[in-house]
Chains A and B, each alone.
Chain A
């Protein structure tokens, strides 16, 4: 499974159908690339971007868990 698909699956656990759009927005905004071009080296920056994007709407706990789950994909 491609990295962007794994990321979408992780985000979908919390964000449901908006997982794809959050991934797209965060990837483009923080890394300036498409989700299909993501590499494991991009995950820390992406995790922070998702944390910042999700935090105000869903709260710190959810945002922190999402960041942690994204970083876990690097391992």
Chain B
């Protein structure tokens, strides 16, 4: 439990905390703004040269491809950043529920709600370990 056991230290060392709520909120705005920005670019920018050189259907296809690529990459990054710490927590919780306290280390280092959850989880596991050690000590 040495790695992330000290929840307080991990919290103190993090200065910027971006809640998942705002990450999702900004992401959704970002996705919503991309088509509008592209339409604005087409309307305001000098895109006549591009359209005339590769044609309107190809230009639309290219813009769609670029937009889709950005959205897919961003969505994958966001989904991974949210689900991978939860998956790790879930695995540790399962292992603890089966009585395995040795592999109960949570290494989640995110500084959002999941990081807070991991800190609290570590504190709970520490308490469980201590109570387990004390009960063994009294039994001997």
Where the two chains meet, the residues of A that have a C-beta atom closer than 8 Å to any C-beta of B are: 12-19, 21-22, 25, 54, 56-62, 65
Contact = CB atoms under 8 A, between A and B. Distances in A.
A15 B126 contact: yes
A14 B129 contact: no
Interface stretch (B5-13, B29-37, B63-71, B73-81): B5-13
Q: Which bracket fits the contact residues of B?
A: 10 to 19
A17 B132 CA distance: 13
Contacts of A19: 127
B2 interface: yes
B134 interface: yes
| Majority secondary structure, A binding face | helix
A68 B129 CA distance: 21
B107 interface: no
B5 A13 contact: no
Contacts of A58: 1-2, 5, 126, 129-130
3 A-B pairs with least C-beta separation: A16-B127, A61-B2, A16-B123
Contacts of A59: 1-2, 5
Contacts of B62: none
Contacts of A21: 130-131, 134
A16 B134 CA distance: 15
Contact of A13 (B6, B128, B131): B6
B62 to A, nearest CB: 54
Given A13-B7, A22-B134, A54-B130, 20 more contacts: A13-B123, A14-B123, A14-B126, A15-B123, A15-B130, A16-B123, A18-B128, A18-B130, A19-B127, A21-B134, A25-B134, A56-B133, A57-B132, A59-B5, A60-B2, A61-B5, A62-B1, A62-B5, A62-B6, A62-B126
22 contacts: A13-B6, A13-B7, A14-B8, A15-B123, A15-B126, A16-B123, A16-B124, A16-B126, A17-B127, A18-B128, A18-B130, A18-B134, A21-B131, A22-B130, A25-B134, A57-B132, A57-B133, A58-B130, A59-B2, A60-B2, A61-B2, A65-B6
